[in-house]
């Protein structure tokens, strides 16, 4: 019997909802594990889940310094898509999409993944060509993408200003229908529960303060809840990568931690059934099942560990929103928050063994961390279990920058705040 | 007289009436009323429906903390959803409708959701709707099917779709002291700071300044508190160094004491003055911020606490005293602290009957008992309300004995008839802004509330914000916060009340007891979250949606934490504290965009723009620029137009506006050496009076930009960049000069907007110039390829460089921007006998494709010089930016995409963005070896051609391949050829 | 954030553009030390705490500023012209009166 279903919901309701079990246990850390994963966010938890599920490695601890899912998995605009230009990226994200499509069943936890599409609006012929290039790249890798005319776009999103008198008229768009949104927190909770039910210890309020070493080899961690030995130590801490790597003596990384703000409006009756991006700025928006518009823009543009954004960016994002939806001027923004983005030097992630023996590294997620959650964990688990990357993450090495084997979807070079 | 309006009292203007409609029904109120007070005065108790269960809801609060009474304001076509009735001032003609109900507020079919109450508790979505694991509904289909219906139930109000005709405004302000909140503490602080000579701003979210002085019924300086406040406001208003901002909600506390506030400028006006904005977005940079934001009263959590008629004690007091509205005839009170007794007395004095005061505490102080006696109410200590009765409005309450220590009810319930229940669960200081500024809240066991920290950076607090709830303390702390710690405070007459509550937050007695009213989060939901392990404050919020509604948990935050703490057997602060983030209250999106609403970016127009439009140009956007695409003749298609323009240019002459090219003056003794460092090729060897094509790399060795640079003097260079990269190149050069090589004596000046540029190309272009240029010859000897001359055209000085993008004999004629149109028209006139035509970007693109010149479509940030066959430009004689990085293994790999030409073999058009494959498979496209970057119909070749970046590059010349463009459903055979389609030796431009 | 530009005075951070980490030394133009170049272009200290960085006052005097700023609190510790830092250079030395 699956733990969560319409039947168990009814059964429990009749019993006054008193019989539900905790979604995950609250264990104390053991003295040693086969694998210790630092970071109880989406990627750390999914890594633990796939280690257990795909590789049978269950003597695993996930260490989270705060509450589970306190990082970017709960601080994003919930969009899931695989429409990246470069094959290294879109193959990886399409694998993620495959996992997303069955994730609720796999986890027996409804993550509310809804494939309502992601539409990139184009405003100049050159831009449309660029988007078509990307769409065609996807199609040649077996991934869906289609061109939409202004008329089709207008039908799909009646509230959108597609008039020729707009400052940047919409001239077309490229749609990925398989893209969509998911309930972000549910992803963390679902993976945590899935890992927990397979024997993984998910340990909250346990901050890593240092690494145990045997020569070069990493043999465990010291934490606020004691020393924990591990055959393998995996790091999946996104925006905190710089901080954690310094604990192991690696002072420089091809990563900058920057703050990215996101916003949600008051709940509105549905006006937007897909995820939209604006081509003449940096703006993306969707509407949640609760009715809030969830949207964001560019990074604030400077290094930050503060999870706090700046006012000029707030103004910019809302200006861009009204450039697309002039009818929403009277709607009000309800919440804002900031997440720490681990911006890599080419905009693509790092999932690799090393850089020290006994250590595994997962970082550099830029804007892509949430949508990557399943594939990131899946590939990282593979890499940890087999001590070598899966072909899907083989390009995402740490040394690719120095070698010039860069995977630069936006073509911006080593300028993290432009990726 | 309205049924519930007191016969006298209140700060409303009873001499005038205001007419408005609610759900189509006409109502009247008075100036000074909010929608909430006016509707209450009219006997309306049902204001809205809750989010999940569609339960009937009335008014809980009287201010910005209101969770229930949300309405939509109609302004012509524009709609403002989710407006709190407690914050909306009525005005003549105001049209308001209720929300989240169908078909009507009184009869809402959504209320059927309540039947599934236990089924659809916290987190139920996560446990179901997943559908079958196999079959046609596997994957996401079943969920999306269900979601379709769930989405219909989403949201509260409807957004408008018509553009909002309102104007929004942004204002920057600077001050020494910003006081937030105009209660007694805030007024004292503002006055003290102003008297010290500081520039003071005082922001108040309500229409009337004075805060609690407007309804506390206390006496300050021998006058009613509201009179004292009005006097203070008059004094402050008269001071030149004070700015008063009523109706201004401070919502954001950003870094560096940058404060964001929203002023409702005309929302309350029936007829705004011309030019007045609807709202104003303030950015206030303040030396010091004084937080006198007071405190929110908390509800108590007990079964049926959401029934219309149940409201916060202080809210009822405020309605009675400030608005002259009696919230009920028979009023009961339920409290865990002394404060509600004063509220009861105020209501009694306004004309209500207080039937009972129910207090969870067994022991009551003498002072409070005396107060209770004056209310005439039955005093029921050691009791608790365990239920409410009535349909859509309260008719009675159920009460039982209560042991506060054990938190348990006992004995038989007794029913008390009441149409209004005041509740008070203690007070929570409004520390939201301090929290935004980074302050960590500290739990006060005595006040059962989170207080701001004592030490702070940038701000000071006073009064209720600090947990100092007495009037005396508020005045004294306000004075100190304003900078006069030793000043005298006015004498006051106030009630001696102990505002410290008994630590009782919930009466668990079975039945739905609401913690978060708007989102319908009950105490049972909190306990369910606990049972399932969602126990930290953030998990509690996220799992149950507690505190996520439009009121952001202003009333529900602490009660929710308390119930969780109780379930965990822990202290409240161990569960955690919420870190508040902007905005404090919802902010209109239009106000944030302000002047950029409708005009998000500036428009850049060249000096000749009007001429282009007047002469039939169709333009399109290129970054911020508008550039001519074609100058179409009547009846011409785009292709016909550009083919004609390009053909005429190649056969006779054409002229294009190139003013948008980036132009940078590079000047100084080290200018030549600097260019040698930043360009891959040599510029120090360039003679004065000549130009050279240059290529720039980024530090990582990839191509940054290309363009020609003209040596105007020994130390003067005019660099041109592509239109798109002008800003980027300037930044790159400035960085190198300022941060890396400050020893170089070079000055950079952007002159893009100072010069107008016209490119005149074609075999007769020289004759046209000869016909109009004076002061210089333009023959091959005087003006050779890449030469520069100075002269005049029609009296305007010009600088002419002979260079070619089109491959024809061509010149770029630069004049001062102010002369641009004059010179352009003179060139057009001179060219007329020679058949000169203006050409747009399409023809420009066509001719550059024929020549195989690269632009931004090829220089996409991922290509090397070698990929573009520009290795001949990489000097081996000197290091340059990127020279050490360009040869790394990844950048010299054999499978890199390289530039080639493409020729259509099926005589059909090609498109940028199409991919190239060696084997065509329309149904299952695969095997891309590259993509087309640009395409056109080539008049000179009579073929559809294009440029592409493909793996293998030159080695594929002469091979047959296919374009594969599934997005545009265009497939067909092509030949891969050299990118030099036309005149590869360059004879024409050198001619 | 408010950044006090040594030339223009206190200005909103929106007038400035973050450019680079400030502590990294660009190899000499003629350097052929590939590892040093690679590190210069790609590796970052990314400090959590007081962070040395270069901003440009792009909406003002366009000077590059060497700023020490706390990346956890956003408090700005110091601001100076970038050109006054970095490696010593001959011209300025020569101009310094003996």
Give the span between the Cα atoms of B571 and A49, in whole angstroms.
33
Residue A409 in contact with residue A86, Cβ under 8 Å? yes
Is A322 in contact with B283 (Cβ distance < 8 A)?
Answer: no
Q: Where are the beta strands (DSSP E) in A114-158?
A: 118-122, 146-148
User: Which residues are CB-neighbours of B402 under 8 A, at least 6 positions away?
Assistant: B360, B382, B383, B384, B408, B409, B410, B504, B507
- Give the pLDDT band (50/70/90) at residue B989: confident
Q: How far is B597 from chain A (nearest CA, A)?
A: 6
- Residue range B726-753, pLDDT digits in tens: 999 999 999 999 999 999 999 999 999 9
- Residue range B270-290, pLDDT digits in tens: 999 988 999 999 999 999 999
Asked, for residue A162, whether it belongs to a domain, the answer is no
- Residue range B308-331, pLDDT digits in tens: 999 999 999 999 999 999 999 999
Task: Please say if the pLDDT value at position B949 is more than 90.
Answer: yes
The residue with tokens 């269950």 is A58
Give the span between the Cα atoms of B396 and B416, in whole angstroms.
5
Minimal Cβ distance to B913: which of A18, A132, A167: A132
Q: Long-range CB contacts (< 8 A, 24+ apart) of B767-770?
A: B767/B834, B768/B653, B768/B827, B768/B830, B768/B831, B768/B834, B768/B836, B769/B800, B769/B811, B769/B813, B769/B830
Three-state DSSP state, A73? helix
Q: How far is A208 from chain C (nearest CA, A)?
A: 16
Residue A78 in contact with residue A181, Cβ under 8 Å? yes
Q: Report, as an integer, the average pLDDT of B580-605.
A: 93
Q: Does C33 touch chain A (CB under 8 A)?
A: no
Interface of B with A in 783-802 (CB under 8 A): none
Interface of A with B in 205-264 (CB under 8 A): none
- Neighbours of B, requiring at least 3 CB pairs below 8 Å, are A, C
Minimal Cβ distance to A139: which of B147, B622, B967: B967
Residue B588 in contact with residue A332, Cβ under 8 Å? yes
Is A408 in contact with B862 (Cβ distance < 8 A)?
Answer: yes
| Number of structural domains chain A divides into | 1
Three-state DSSP state, A70? coil
What region does B660 belong to: left with phi over 0, alpha with psi -120 to 50, or beta? alpha
Q: A-chain residues within 8 Å CB-CB of C39?
A: 252
Q: Report, as an integer, the average pLDDT of B207-231.
A: 95
- Give the pLDDT band (50/70/90) at residue B598: confident
What percent of chain B is modeled with pLDDT above 70? Answer: 100
Residue A301 in contact with residue A82, Cβ under 8 Å? no
Please tell me what DSSP assigns to residue B403. Answer: E
Residue-number span of the structural domain to which A408 is assigned: 25-82+85-108+184-253+346-418
Is C71 in contact with A308 (Cβ distance < 8 A)?
Answer: no
Cα torsion for B392, B393, B397, B398, to the nearest 10°?
0
Q: A-chain residues within 8 Å CB-CB of B51?
A: 267
- Neighbours of C, requiring at least 3 CB pairs below 8 Å, are A, B
Is B743 in contact with C91 (Cβ distance < 8 A)?
Answer: yes
Interface of B with A in 137-166 (CB under 8 A): 138-140, 143-144, 147, 150-152, 154-164, 166
Task: Please say if the pLDDT value at position A74 is more than 50.
Answer: yes
Give the span between the Cα atoms of A381 and A195, in whole angstroms.
12
Interface of A with C in 337-356 (CB under 8 A): 345
Lowest mean pLDDT among A93-97, B164-168, B585-589: B164-168
Task: Please say if the pLDDT value at position C88 is more than 60.
Answer: no
- Residue range A283-298, pLDDT digits in tens: 999 999 999 999 999 9
**CATH code where residue A198 lies:** 3.50.50.60
Quote the distance between the C-alpha of residue B45 and its chain's center. 35
Q: What share of chain C is helix, strand, coil (3-state, %, to 5)?
A: 20, 35, 45
Asked, for residue A356, whether it belongs to a domain, the answer is yes
List, in sequence order, every residue forming a beta bridge with B792; answer none if it has no partner: B774, B797
Report the mean per-residue pLDDT for chain A.
95
Q: C-chain residues within 8 Å CB-CB of A256?
A: 44, 46
| Residue with more model confidence, C96 or A264 | A264
Three-state DSSP state, A261? strand
C-alpha closest to that of A200 among A47, A21, A378 = A47
- Give the pLDDT band (50/70/90) at residue B668: very high
Rounded to 5 degrees, what are φ and ψ at B777? -85, 160
User: Which residues are CB-neighbours of B910 under 8 A, at least 6 positions away?
Assistant: B902, B904, B932, B935, B944, B945, B946, B963, B974
Give the pLDDT score at B384. 97
Give the pLDDT score at B78. 84
Give the pLDDT score at C87. 47
Q: B-chain residues within 8 Å CB-CB of A18?
A: 531
Lowest mean pLDDT among A12-21, A277-286, A383-392: A12-21
- Residue range A29-57, pLDDT digits in tens: 999 999 999 999 999 999 999 999 999 99
Give the span between the Cα atoms of B785 and B808, in whole angstroms.
11
Q: How far is A228 from chain B (nearest CA, A)?
A: 24
Minimal Cβ distance to B121: which of A17, A102, A141: A17
Minimal Cβ distance to C54: which of B285, B739, B741: B739
Q: Where are the beta strands (DSSP E) in B682-776?
A: 691-697, 703-713, 716-721, 747-750, 755-761, 773-774
Q: Omega before B583 cis (within 30°)?
A: yes
- Residue range B820-836, pLDDT digits in tens: 999 999 999 999 999 99
**Rg of the Cα atoms in chain B:** 38
Quote the distance between the C-alpha of residue B90 and its chain's center. 28
Task: Please say if the pLDDT value at position B811 is more than 60.
Answer: yes
B interface mutation test: which of C18, C29, C70 has the most B CBs within 10 A? C29
User: Which residues are CB-neighbours of B405 under 8 A, at least 6 positions away?
Assistant: none
DSSP symbols for A183-200: -HHHHHHHHHHHHHHTT-
Residue B924 in contact with residue A149, Cβ under 8 Å? no
Give the span between the Cα atoms of B140 and B105, in whole angstroms.
35
Is C43 in contact with A253 (Cβ distance < 8 A)?
Answer: yes
Interface of C with B in 40-79 (CB under 8 A): 40-42, 54, 56, 58, 62-64, 73-74, 76
Give the pLDDT score at B237. 98
Q: How far is B912 from chain A (nearest CA, A)?
A: 5
Asked, for residue A335, whether it belongs to a domain, the answer is no
Q: B-chain residues within 8 Å CB-CB of A88?
A: none
Residue A229 in contact with residue A31, Cβ under 8 Å? yes
Quote the distance between the C-alpha of residue B247 and its chain's center. 21
Q: C-chain residues within 8 Å CB-CB of B739?
A: 19-20, 54, 64, 82-83, 86
Q: Report, as an integer, the average pLDDT of B885-914.
A: 96
Q: Cα dihedral sign for B313, B317, B323, B324?
A: positive
C-alpha closest to that of B591 among B265, B284, B271, B155 = B265
Is B258 in contact with C58 (Cβ distance < 8 A)?
Answer: no
What percent of chain A is modeled with pLDDT above 70? Answer: 100
Q: Where are the beta strands (DSSP E) in B874-942?
A: 897-904, 915-917, 928-938
Q: Report, as an integer, the average pLDDT of B371-382.
A: 95
Residue B713 in contact with residue B907, Cβ under 8 Å? no
Q: Report, as an integer, the average pLDDT of A333-350.
A: 95
- Residue range C36-61, pLDDT digits in tens: 999 999 999 999 999 999 999 999 99
Report the mean per-residue pLDDT for chain B.
94
Q: B-chain residues within 8 Å CB-CB of A414?
A: 698-700
C interface mutation test: which of A402, A404, A406, A413 has the most C CBs within 10 A? A402
**Rg of the Cα atoms in chain C:** 15
Q: Does A401 touch chain C (CB under 8 A)?
A: yes
Q: How far is C9 from chain B (nearest CA, A)?
A: 14
pTM value is 0.95
User: Would you state the structure tokens that stand for residue B123, as one six-digit string?
Assistant: 């987190």
Q: C-chain residues within 8 Å CB-CB of B285?
A: 2, 12
Give the span between the Cα atoms of A207 and A221, in whole angstroms.
10
Three-state DSSP state, A46? helix
Give the span between the Cα atoms of B127 and B243, in whole angstroms.
55
C-alpha closest to that of B247 among B219, B274, B277 = B277
Interface predicted TM-score of the whole assembly (ipTM), two decimals: 0.95
Q: Report, as an integer, the average pLDDT of B616-620.
A: 94
Is C86 in contact with B739 (Cβ distance < 8 A)?
Answer: yes
Give the pLDDT score at B138. 77
Asked, for residue A264, whether it belongs to a domain, the answer is no
Task: Please say if the pLDDT value at position C95 is more than 80.
Answer: no
Q: C-chain residues within 8 Å CB-CB of A255?
A: 44, 46
Q: Report, as an integer, the average pLDDT of B528-553.
A: 93
Q: B-chain residues within 8 Å CB-CB of C96?
A: none
Give the pLDDT score at C86. 52
C interface mutation test: which of B669, B677, B738, B744 has the most C CBs within 10 A? B738
Give the span between the Cα atoms of A98 and A103, in whole angstroms.
9
Give the pLDDT score at B722. 95
Q: How far is C84 from chain B (nearest CA, A)?
A: 8
C-alpha closest to that of B101 among B57, B146, B160 = B57
The residue with tokens 């060696």 is B918
- Residue range B750-773, pLDDT digits in tens: 999 999 999 999 999 999 999 999
List, in sequence order, every residue forming a beta bridge with B121; answer none if it has no partner: none
Q: A-chain residues within 8 Å CB-CB of C79?
A: none
Domain C2-95, CATH: 3.30.2270.10
Asked, for residue A297, whether it belongs to a domain, the answer is no
Give the span between the Cα atoms of B313 and B298, in whole angstroms.
9
Q: A-chain residues within 8 Å CB-CB of C72?
A: 305-306
- Residue range A141-196, pLDDT digits in tens: 999 999 999 999 999 999 999 998 899 999 999 999 999 999 999 999 999 999 99
Asked, for residue A358, whether it belongs to a domain, the answer is yes
- Residue range B220-262, pLDDT digits in tens: 999 999 999 999 999 999 999 999 999 999 999 999 999 999 9
Minimal Cβ distance to A401: which of C17, C42, C74: C42
Asked, for residue A115, whether it belongs to a domain, the answer is no
C-alpha closest to that of A71 among A38, A97, A100, A48 = A38
Give the pLDDT score at C26. 92
Domains of chain B, start order:
18-115 (3.10.20.440), 116-152 (no CATH), 610-660+754-839 (3.30.1360.120), 662-750 (3.30.70.1400), 891-990 (2.40.30.110)
Give the pLDDT score at A1. 55
C-alpha closest to that of B155 among B90, B102, B112, B221 = B102
Q: How far is C34 from chain B (nearest CA, A)?
A: 7
User: Would you state the structure tokens that stand for residue B466, as one six-digit string?
Assistant: 């600090």
User: Would you state the structure tokens that stand for residue B913, as one six-digit string?
Assistant: 């963005």
Q: Does A304 touch chain C (CB under 8 A)?
A: yes
Longest dimension (CA), chain C: 43
Q: B-chain residues within 8 Å CB-CB of A407?
A: none
What percent of chain B is modeled with pLDDT above 90? Answer: 86
Q: Degrees (nearest 5) of the Cα angle B479, B480, B481?
A: 95
C-alpha closest to that of A28 among A238, A262, A216, A205 = A205
Q: Does A254 touch chain C (CB under 8 A)?
A: yes
Q: C-chain residues within 8 Å CB-CB of B255?
A: 1-2, 13, 74
């Amino acid at each position: 019997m699956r733990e969560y279903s319409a039947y168990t919901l009814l059964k429990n309701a009749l019993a006054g909802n008193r019989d539900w079990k905790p979604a995950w246990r609250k264990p104390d850390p053991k003295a040693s594990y086969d694998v210790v994963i630092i970071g109880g966010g989406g990627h750390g938890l999914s890594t633990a889940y796939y280690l257990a599920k795909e590789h049978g490695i269950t003597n695993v601890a996930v260490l989270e310094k705060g509450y589970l899912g306190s990082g970017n998995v709960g601080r994003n605009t919930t969009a899931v898509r695989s429409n990246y230009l470069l094959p290294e990226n879109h193959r990886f994200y399409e694998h993620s999409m495959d996992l997303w499509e069955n994730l609720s069943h796999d986890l027996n936890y409804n993550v509310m993944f809804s494939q309502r599409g992601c539409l990139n609006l184009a405003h100049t012929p050159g831009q449309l060509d660029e988007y078509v290039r990307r769409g065609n790249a996807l199609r040649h890798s077996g991934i869906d993408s289609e061109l939409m005319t202004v008329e089709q776009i207008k039908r799909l999103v009646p509230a959108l200003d597609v008039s020729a008198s707009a400052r940047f008229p919409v001239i077309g768009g490229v749609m990925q229908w398989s893209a969509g949104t998911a309930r972000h927190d549910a992803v963390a909770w679902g993976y945590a529960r899935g890992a927990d039910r397979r024997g993984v210890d998910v340990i909250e309020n346990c901050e890593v303060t240092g690494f145990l070493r045997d020569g070069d080899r990493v043999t465990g961690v010291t934490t606020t809840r004691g020393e924990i030995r591990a055959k393998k130590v995996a790091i999946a801490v996104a925006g905190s990568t710089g901080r954690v790597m310094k604990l192991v003596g690696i002072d420089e990384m091809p990563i900058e931690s920057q703050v990215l703000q996101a916003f949600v409006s008051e709940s509105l009756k549905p006006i937007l059934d897909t995820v939209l991006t604006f081509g003449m700025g940096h703006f993306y928006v969707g509407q949640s099942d609760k009715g809030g518009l969830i949207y964001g823009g560019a990074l604030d543009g400077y290094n930050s560990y503060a999870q706090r954004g700046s006012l000029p960016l707030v103004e910019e994002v809302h200006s861009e929103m009204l450039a697309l939806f002039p009818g929403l001027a009277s709607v009000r923004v309800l919440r804002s928050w900031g997440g720490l983005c681990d911006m890599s030097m080419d905009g693509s992630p790092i999932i690799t063994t090393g850089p020290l023996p006994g250590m595994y590294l997962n970082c550099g997620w830029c804007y892509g961390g949430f949508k990557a959650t399943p594939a990131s964990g899946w590939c990282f688990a593979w890499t940890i279990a087999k001590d070598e990357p899966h072909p899907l993450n083989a390009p995402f090495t740490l040394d690719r920058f120095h070698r010039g084997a860069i995977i630069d979807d936006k073509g911006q070079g080593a300028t993290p705040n432009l990726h | 007289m309205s049924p519930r309006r007191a016969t006298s009292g209140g700060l409303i203007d009873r001499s005038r009436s205001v007419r408005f409609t609610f759900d189509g029904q006409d109502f009247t109120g008075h100036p000074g009323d909010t929608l909430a007070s006016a509707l209450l005065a009219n006997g309306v108790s049902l204001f809205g429906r809750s989010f999940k269960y569609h339960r009937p809801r009335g008014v809980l609060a009287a201010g910005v903390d209101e969770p229930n009474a949300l309405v939509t304001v109609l302004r012509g076509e524009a709609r403002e959803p989710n407006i709190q009735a407690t914050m909306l001032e009525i005005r003549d003609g105001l049209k308001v409708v209720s929300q989240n109900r169908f078909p009507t507020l009184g009869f809402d079919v959504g209320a059927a959701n309540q039947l599934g109450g236990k089924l659809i508790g916290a987190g139920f979505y996560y446990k179901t709707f997943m559908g079958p694991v196999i079959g046609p509904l596997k994957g996401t289909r079943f969920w999306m099917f269900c979601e379709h219906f769930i989405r219909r139930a989403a949201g509260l109000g409807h957004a408008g779709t018509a553009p909002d005709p309102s104007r929004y405004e942004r204002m920057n302000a600077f001050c020494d002291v910003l006081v937030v909140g105009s209660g007694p503490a805030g007024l004292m602080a503002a006055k003290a700071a102003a008297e010290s000579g500081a520039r003071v701003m005082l922001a108040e979210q309500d229409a009337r300044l004075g805060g609690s002085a407007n309804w506390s019924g206390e006496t300050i300086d021998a006058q009613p508190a509201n009179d004292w406040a009005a006097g203070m406001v008059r004094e402050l208003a008269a001071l030149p160094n004070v700015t008063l901002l009523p109706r201004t909600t401070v919502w954001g506390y950003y870094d560096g004491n940058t404060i964001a506030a929203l002023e409702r400028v005309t929302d309350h006006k029936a007829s705004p003055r011309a030019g007045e904005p609807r709202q104003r977005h303030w950015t206030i940079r303040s030396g010091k911020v004084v937080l006198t934001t007071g405190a929110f009263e908390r509800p108590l959590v007990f079964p049926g606490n959401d029934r219309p008629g149940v409201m916060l004690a202080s809210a009822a007091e405020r309605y009675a005293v400030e608005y002259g509205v009696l919230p009920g005839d028979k009023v009961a009170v339920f409290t865990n602290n002394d404060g509600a007794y004063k509220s009861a007395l105020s209501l009694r004095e306004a004309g209500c009957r207080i039937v009972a005061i129910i207090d969870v505490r067994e022991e009551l102080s003498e002072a409070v008992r005396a107060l209770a006696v004056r209310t005439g109410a039955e005093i029921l200590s050691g009791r608790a309300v365990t239920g409410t009765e009535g349909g859509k409005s309260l008719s009675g309450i159920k009460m039982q004995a209560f042991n506060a220590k054990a938190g348990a009810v006992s004995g038989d319930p007794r029913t008390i008839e009441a149409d209004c229940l005041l509740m008070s669960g203690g007070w929570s200081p409004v520390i939201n802004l301090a929290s935004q500024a980074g302050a960590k809240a500290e739990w006060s066991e005595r006040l059962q509330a989170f207080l701001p920290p004592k030490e702070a950076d940038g701000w000071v607090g006073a009064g209720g914000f600090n947990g100092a709830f007495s009037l005396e303390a508020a005045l004294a702390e306000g004075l100190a916060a304003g900078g006069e710690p030793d000043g005298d405070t006015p004498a006051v007459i106030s009630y001696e009340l102990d505002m410290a509550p008994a630590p009782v937050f919930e009466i668990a007695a079975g039945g739905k007891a609401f913690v978060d009213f708007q989102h319908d989060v009950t105490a049972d939901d909190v306990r369910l979250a606990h049972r399932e392990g969602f126990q930290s404050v953030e998990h509690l919020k996220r799992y149950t949606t507690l505190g996520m509604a439009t009121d952001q948990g202003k009333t529900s935050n602490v009660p929710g934490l308390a119930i969780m703490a109780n379930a965990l057997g822990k202290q409240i602060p161990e569960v955690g504290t919420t870190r508040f983030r902007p905005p404090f209250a919802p902010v209109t999106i239009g106000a944030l965009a302000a002047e950029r609403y409708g005009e998000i970016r500036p428009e850049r127009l060249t000096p000749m723009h009007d001429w282009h439009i007047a002469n039939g140009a169709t333009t399109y956007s290129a970054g911020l620029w508008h550039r001519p695409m074609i100058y179409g003749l009547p009846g011409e298609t785009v292709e016909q137009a550009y083919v004609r323009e390009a053909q005429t240019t190649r056969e006779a002459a054409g002229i294009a506006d190139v003013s948008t090219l980036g132009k940078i003056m590079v000047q100084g003794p080290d200018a030549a050496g600097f260019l040698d460092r930043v360009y891959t090729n040599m510029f120090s060897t360039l003679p004065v009076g000549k130009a050279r094509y240059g290529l720039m790399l980024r530090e990582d060795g990839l191509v940054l930009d290309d363009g020609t640079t003209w040596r105007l003097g020994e130390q003067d260079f005019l660099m041109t960049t592509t239109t798109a990269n002008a800003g980027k190149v300037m930044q790159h050069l400035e960085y190198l000069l300022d941060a890396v090589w400050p020893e170089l004596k070079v000055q950079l000046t952007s002159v893009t907007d100072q010069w107008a540029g016209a490119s005149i190309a074609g075999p007769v272009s020289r004759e046209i110039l000869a016909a109009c240029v004076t002061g210089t010859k333009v023959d091959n000897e005087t003006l050779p390829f890449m030469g520069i001359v100075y002269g005049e055209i029609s009296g305007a000085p010009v600088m002419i460089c002979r260079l070619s993008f089109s491959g024809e004999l061509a010149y770029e004629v630069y004049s001062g921007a102010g002369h641009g149109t004059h010179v352009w028209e003179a060139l057009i006139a001179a060219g007329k006998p020679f058949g000169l035509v203006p050409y747009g970007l399409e023809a420009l693109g066509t001719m550059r494709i024929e020549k195989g010149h690269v632009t931004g479509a090829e220089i996409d940030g991922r290509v090397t010089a070698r990929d573009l066959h520009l290795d001949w430009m990489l000097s081996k004689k000197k290091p340059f930016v990127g020279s050490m990085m360009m040869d790394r293994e990844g950048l010299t790999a054999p499978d890199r995409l390289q530039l080639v030409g493409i020729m259509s073999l099926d005589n059909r058009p090609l498109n940028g963005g199409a991919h190239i494959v060696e084997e065509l498979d329309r149904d299952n496209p695969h095997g891309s070896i590259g993509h087309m970057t640009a395409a056109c119909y080539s008049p000179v070749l009579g073929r559809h051609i294009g440029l592409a970046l493909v793996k293998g590059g030159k080695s594929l010349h002469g091979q047959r391949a296919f374009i594969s463009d599934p997005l545009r459903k265009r497939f067909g055979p092509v030949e891969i050829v050299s990118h030099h389609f036309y005149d590869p030796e360059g004879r024409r431009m050198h001619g | 954030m408010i950044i006090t530009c040594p030339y223009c005075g206190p200005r909103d951070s929106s007038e400035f553009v973050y450019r680079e980490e400030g502590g990294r030394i660009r190899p000499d133009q003629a350097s052929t030390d590939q590892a040093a170049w690679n590190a210069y272009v790609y590796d970052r200290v990314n400090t959590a705490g007081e962070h040395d960085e270069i901003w440009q006052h792009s909406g003002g005097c366009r000077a590059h500023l060497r700023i020490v700023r706390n990346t956890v609190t956003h408090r700005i510790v110091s601001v100076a012209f970038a050109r006054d830092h970095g490696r010593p250079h001959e011209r300025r030395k020569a101009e310094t009166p003996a």
